[in-house]
Amino acid sequence: MLRCEAPVYRPRTLTDAIYARADMPDATVIAGGTDVMVYLESGSLKPTRFLDLWDCSGLRWQQFITGGQFCGAGLTCTDAIRSPQTHPLVREACSTVGAVQIQNRATIGGNICNSSPAGDTLPVWLALDAEFELASMRGRRRVPAASFWKGYKQIDLRPDELLVGVLLPQTTGETHFRKVGTRMAQSISKVIFAGRYRRGVEARLAFGAVGPTPMRCREAEAALVAGRPVDEVVALVEAEITPIDDVRSTADYRRKVAGNIVRRWLASL
Ligand SMILES: Cc1cc2nc3c(=O)[nH]c(=O)nc-3n(C[C@H](O)[C@H](O)[C@H](O)COP(=O)(O)OP(=O)(O)OC[C@H]3O[C@@H](n4cnc5c(N)ncnc54)[C@H](O)[C@@H]3O)c2cc1C
């Protein structure tokens, strides 16, 4: 059985959580705990204390706002799957996380802050031009998803800050999500793709698990908007991503699959 003596502080409101974070920048923030528990079990995490956001009411909601939508960081994948307000791309990504037991605990904020390049929701935030809202005693700031993941497991989050939620602007265009893993459930991604395309206007081709951070293929996006041939767009995708060989797959396989996903999606349009 997993034992840990570190004390747990469990705020009930967002204000309390922000105060607590300022007092305890050393604490390990825990939301659903599905990543944190794995680190604890493996011994890679040595917590001094925990700031547990699970009961923090101000984080677990979503609503439409002027010009878009706000999704609280404490929304679980199950919340997102069940809510009629959820953007289809977000729902699809949340549906592929782990299995039902994991989805019941895993939060979107945890997926974003854990910042695994293989996090299933991450390319979705890039494809939707999301901004992340971060709060501390000093105030709030918004960081575009495109600049939040700074390097492998490095994020633009200061020690006294919490991720409060995600702002999704109103967007247009066809969208597509695809996760390639070994199985349908409980499978860590080999390649994840989220795309959005409005012919002649804008394109987002966002990938996960093909580099140290989730990424957009900006040259391929520009070629697509300019009406360049699909072969050229696919070649740019394959050139822009930086996959590696690891226990789950090879770089060659990932590159080929990434290109195929884009080719098939564009053909279907
Ligand atoms: C069996 C299993 C299967 C899984 N399958 C998948 C999968 O298919 N796809 C996938 O993407 N992931 C998968 N995961 C990983 C995990 O479930 C997800 O990353 C999940 O979204 C994490 O959310 P959480 O709320 O549990 O995060 P936690 O474990 O609570 O936290 C994760 C990290 O984020 C930080 N954090 C959390 N919330 C905040 C906040 N509001 N502000 C600041 N920091 C915060 C924590 O400090 C921690 O560093 C799996 C995990 C397990 C155990």
168-216 confidence digits (pLDDT tens): 999 999 999 999 988 776 778 899 999 999 999 999 999 999 999 999 9
Ligand 1 lined by 20 (C-beta under 6 Å): no
Considering only 20-34, 55-69, 101-115, 213-227, which range has the smallest mean pLDDT?
55-69
- As annotated, the residues of the chain forming the CATH 3.30.390.50 domain(s) are 180-268
Q: Which CATH superfamily is domain 180-268 in?
A: CO dehydrogenase flavoprotein, C-terminal domain (3.30.390.50)
At residue 57, the pLDDT reads 86
Residue from 114, 158, 164 to probe ligand 1 pocket by mutation (most atoms less than 8 Å from CB): 114
- As annotated, the residues of the chain forming the CATH 3.30.465.10 domain(s) are 58-169
- The 10s digit of each residue's pLDDT in 109-118 is 999 999 999 9
- The 10s digit of each residue's pLDDT in 25-43 is 999 999 999 999 999 999 9
Q: Whose CA is nearest to atom 43 of ligand 1?
A: 162
Q: Whose CA is nearest to atom 11 of ligand 1?
A: 119
Ligand 1 lined by 52 (C-beta under 6 Å): no
Q: Which is the closest atom of ligand 1 to the Cα of 102?
A: 17
- As annotated, the residues of the chain forming the CATH 3.30.43 domain(s) are 8-52
Ligand 1 lined by 123 (C-beta under 6 Å): no
What angle do helix axes 230-240 and 251-268 make, rounded to 10 degrees?
150
Q: Mean pLDDT throughout 146-158? A: 97
Return the CATH number of the domain spanning residue range 8-52.
3.30.43
Q: Which is the closest atom of ligand 1 to the Cα of 59?
A: 41
Kindly report the pTM of this predicted structure.
0.97
Burial 119-129 (b: 16+ CB within 10 A, else e): bbbbbbbbbbb
Q: Which residues contact 29 (CB under 8 A, 6 or more apart)?
A: 21, 50, 51, 53, 113, 162
Q: Which residues contact 69 (CB under 8 A, 6 or more apart)?
A: 62, 63, 85, 87, 167, 168
DSSP state of 72: E
Ligand 1 lined by 31 (C-beta under 6 Å): yes
236 phi and psi, to 5 degrees? -65, -40
Ligand 1 lined by 99 (C-beta under 6 Å): no
Q: Mean pLDDT throughout 237-254? A: 92
At residue 10, the pLDDT reads 97
Task: Look at residue 157 and tell me whether its pLDDT is greater than 80.
Answer: yes
Q: pLDDT band at residue 45, thresholds of 50, 70 and 90?
A: very high
Mean confidence (pLDDT) of the chain? 95
Q: Mean pLDDT throughout 219-223? A: 98
Task: Look at residue 269 and tell me whether its pLDDT is greater than 80.
Answer: yes
Q: pLDDT band at residue 247, thresholds of 50, 70 and 90?
A: confident
Place of tokens 């994020």: 155
3-state secondary structure 124-184: HHHHCCCEEEEEECCEEEEEEHHHHEEECCEECCCCCCEEEEEEEECCCCEEEEEEECCCC
Q: Whose CA is nearest to atom 18 of ligand 1?
A: 111
Rounded Cα distance, 78 and 26, in Å: 30
Return the CATH number of the domain spanning residue range 58-169.
3.30.465.10
Please give the distance, rounded to the nearest whole angstrom, from the Cα atom of residue 30 to the centre of ligand 1: 9
Number of other residues whose CB lies within 10 A of the CB of residue 172: 10
At residue 237, the pLDDT reads 98
DSSP state of 76: B
